[in-house]
Amino acid sequence: MNRSEIALLKGPNSVNTDLMSSEELRSFLQKGLYDINNSKTIPAKGFFALFRKTHEND
């Protein structure tokens, strides 16, 4: 694959909102907001730097 092509991986059904009930989606979003509000996340810049370093030979 050359660098101008993009390959998207299919995500697991556990995070596929098309397959979630309203309650499952609400719970999923509430957990995300809880994580954000309680500093259980990392800045995107740091995440992507680590991701690139980890996957530089893929």
pLDDT in tens, 11-58: 677 778 888 899 999 999 999 999 999 999 989 999 999 999 998 887
pTM of the model: 0.55
Structure tokens at 54: 């980890």
Distances (CA, A) of 40 to 13, 19, 48: 23, 26, 17
DSSP 21: -
Question: Residue 23 — φ and ψ, nearest 5°?
Answer: -65, -40
